[in-house]
A and B are shown apart, each in its own frame.
Chain A
Amino acid sequence: MPALMDFALDPRAIGLPSREDLLEMRIWDSHYHGISQHDHVMPYFDRMGVERVFSLDVGFMRQTQEETAAGIAKDFAVLETWKHRMSGLCRIEPGRVDDTLEHMNRCIRHGPCIGFKTGGYHQGPFTVAHPNYDPIIRLAAELDAVIYIHSVFQVGGNPRRYDGGNAVAESNPRDVAALAGRFPDVKMICGHQGTEWELGIRQIRPHKNVYLEFSGWPPESGSVDFAVKELGIDRLVWGCHAPSRSFSNALSQVYDAKLTPAQRKLIFGTNLRKISAAIHRRKGIKVEI
């Protein structure tokens, strides 16, 4: 294999952006899963011209405080080393609201994290529509925290429905819309709408405080065109989901869409910088929009 920064084929020769073009986009990745293998993974982000990543796997809430503390210490050390390129979002547990609030204070208010991510694996049937999320969102708003919501429509159930395949704790865009309706002034990211995006986008469309992120699913041509048409260019943020997904997947969705370079730049980074500028400043990280 050639060196990681060598390109045997000029991307422009096949109608793709060069690395210099990608650098010009100032790409901020809202969905990074590589923290535990960061030294191996990050060189590929250099190759593909990514400026900053949001690691979503910082500070999982474990069963005991000792386990949680041990994980936090390890993750915070990586964040400290890479704070010039990496921001951290902690995990929460909506079935344990008081613990979650304490965890957010530790990780976000007093720690290096800039927000939190929800998942589909929580300890109980708590989607983001559940009232347990209300105090969590209020605290997040107070801290200017970034809110990333794992949200999917998956077909399944009996009888089969387009939304019947979710896990019991797995939010769908309808849940996001319910939460967004209760907190219309709080910005939140509806993640993974590369799933049933034709329906998910319609679901969140009325809620101007909800941003859309595509990652984690096979890419489909036309999806970003549709999102831009229905939501507007200012409500899309980019996520890669590497290393479990590829740059090829995530970049292609944006380059498939009929957009100007300026519009692509908004999706690739500007919109996410706007959402997160306040909390980054609290952490002493200057953000040039």
Chain B
Amino acid sequence: MFMNPIPRRSFLKNSLVTAAALGLPSRVPAQPGKPATGGSVAAGAFIVDTNVNTGWWPFRHMKYSATPDLVAKLRKHKIKRAWAGSYDALFQKNIDSVNTRLAEDCRVNGGGILVPFGTVNPAFPDWEEDLRRCHEVHKMPGIRLHPIYNGYTLESPEFKHLLDGAARRGLLVQIAIDMEDERKQHPLVNVPAVDVAPLPDILKQIPNVRVMLVNPFRHVRGAKLKAMVERTDVTFEFSNLDGLSSVERILPDAMPWKPYHPLGRILSGGANPTVPLERLLFGSNAPFMPLEQSLFKLIESPLTRAQIDALAFGNADRILVPA
């Protein structure tokens, strides 16, 4: 059902050696929080949502902001696990408090579905301790980074050090490229998208690191996406992949024609290089975006069941071994 391994998949073997040397688990299993009272994964649930958020979006109350409401929504649509970051990590300085609350929220309210992904800000003093706590105290299988909101770029030396640290611990590193359309940001908040151009050269220096781009496709396009696909092993979640039959269009050899806009702009998918199936994952960006949007992507494109399974859970289960 699954594709050929990623060329640099040797990271697995290497990380086993490195982690053993550190006395750390090589690949931390996804450990969904156990609900304090009731709650369970819905019967027939099979989808892994790699991109949800808890906490409070600073600019709007969302209808599924409350974690129990979000979990109920995920359960209704057959999500078996959801990798959860926290909106609180965008602006709050006490990042350990954010991560602790995230872990507790997932444990108490996560319904056996939510898997916490804490945030580490390498621009903050002693970020190494935050990373250690994410891994050792909260047992998180990965972290979610917000470079621009947190005040650093991918060129900063601290970012490379953080990737080194995450690789040693076998943690998956999610990098959020943006959090909302920049044309709609609050006027006082002017946050550009993360520039991924430096990433291929950085990742070449850290062969064991596993990186996934979150909310990538508004800005990682054209030559940048080509570089990501051809020069790295990063994976992508598809919450902001848009355009007619977008999943079909971005997969290799899928669509023999390329849609275009009548005013002459080439559409994102049409101009984009393709992404191998094994590197594309289901992500919803709930509760900001409707969960239904990403679910419909599995329907709108004429996919085989094997392709749907790879997108919906196979690729995610390969990256994070289920508990």
A residues neighboring B (CB under 8 Å): 1-4, 6-9, 11, 13-16, 33-37, 40-41, 44, 47-48, 57, 121, 154-156, 159-162, 164-165, 195-196, 198, 217-222, 225, 242-249, 251-253, 255-256
Q: Decide yes or no: A37 and B303 within 8 Å by CB, A14-B78, A195-B184, A248-B246 being known contacts.
A: no
Q: Output the least CB separation between A263 and chain B (Å).
A: 16
Which one of A8, A121, A196, A252 contacts B293 once the chains associate, using CB atoms below 8 Å? A252
A-B contact pairs, 7 of them (CB 8 A): A7-B299, A13-B78, A14-B295, A57-B262, A155-B186, A248-B300, A251-B296
**Among A6, A8, A13: residue with most chain B CB under 10 A:** A8
Interface string of B34-64 (1 = CB under 8 A from A): 0000000000100100000000000010111
Interface string of B263-280 (1 = CB under 8 A from A): 101010000000000000
Which one of A40, A217, A248 contacts B296 once the chains associate, using CB atoms below 8 Å? A248
User: Which chain A positions have C-beta within 8 A of B307?
Assistant: 8
**Interface pair B297/A248, CB less than 8 Å apart:** yes
Question: Can you name the residue of chain A whose Cβ is closest to the Cβ of B270?
Answer: A243
In B172-207, the 8 Å CB interface with A consists of: 180-188, 190
User: Which chain A positions have C-beta within 8 A of B159?
Assistant: none
C-alpha spacing A8/B242, complex, angstroms: 21
Q: Decide yes or no: A33 and B188 within 8 Å by CB, A155-B183, A221-B63, A246-B300 being known contacts.
A: no
C-alpha spacing A184/B77, complex, angstroms: 43
Q: Decide yes or no: A218 and B240 within 8 Å by CB, A9-B298, A13-B44, A47-B302 being known contacts.
A: yes
Q: Output the least CB separation between A192 and chain B (Å).
A: 11
**Interface pair B187/A155, CB less than 8 Å apart:** yes
User: Which chain B positions have C-beta within 8 A of A156?
Assistant: 183
B residues neighboring A (CB under 8 Å): 44, 47, 60, 62-64, 76-78, 180-188, 190, 218, 240, 242-246, 248, 254, 257, 259-263, 265, 267, 286-300, 302-305, 307-308
Which one of A155, A244, A251, A256 contacts B261 once the chains associate, using CB atoms below 8 Å? A244
**Interface pair B259/A9, CB less than 8 Å apart:** no
**Interface pair A255/B260, CB less than 8 Å apart:** no
**Interface pair A44/B290, CB less than 8 Å apart:** no
Which one of B261, B263, B267, B295 contacts A16 once the chains associate, using CB atoms below 8 Å? B295
Which one of B60, B183, B190, B246 contacts A246 once the chains associate, using CB atoms below 8 Å? B246
User: Which chain B positions have C-beta within 8 A of A16?
Assistant: 77, 292, 295-296, 299
Q: Output the least CB separation between B2 and chain A (Å).
A: 16
**Interface pair B262/A155, CB less than 8 Å apart:** no
Q: Output the least CB separation between B53 and chain A (Å).
A: 12
Question: Can you name the residue of chain A whose Cβ is closest to the Cβ of B266?
Answer: A244
Q: Decide yes or no: A161 and B187 within 8 Å by CB, A9-B308, A248-B293 being known contacts.
A: yes
Question: Can you name the residue of chain B whose Cβ is closest to the Cβ of A242?
Answer: B244
Q: Output the least CB separation between A57 and chain B (Å).
A: 4
Query: Nearest 3 CB-CB pairs, A to B?
Result: A256-B290, A243-B244, A248-B296
**Interface pair A219/B78, CB less than 8 Å apart:** no
Q: Decide yes or no: A48 and B300 within 8 Å by CB, A37-B260, A155-B183, A243-B244 being known contacts.
A: yes
C-alpha spacing A152/B218, complex, angstroms: 19
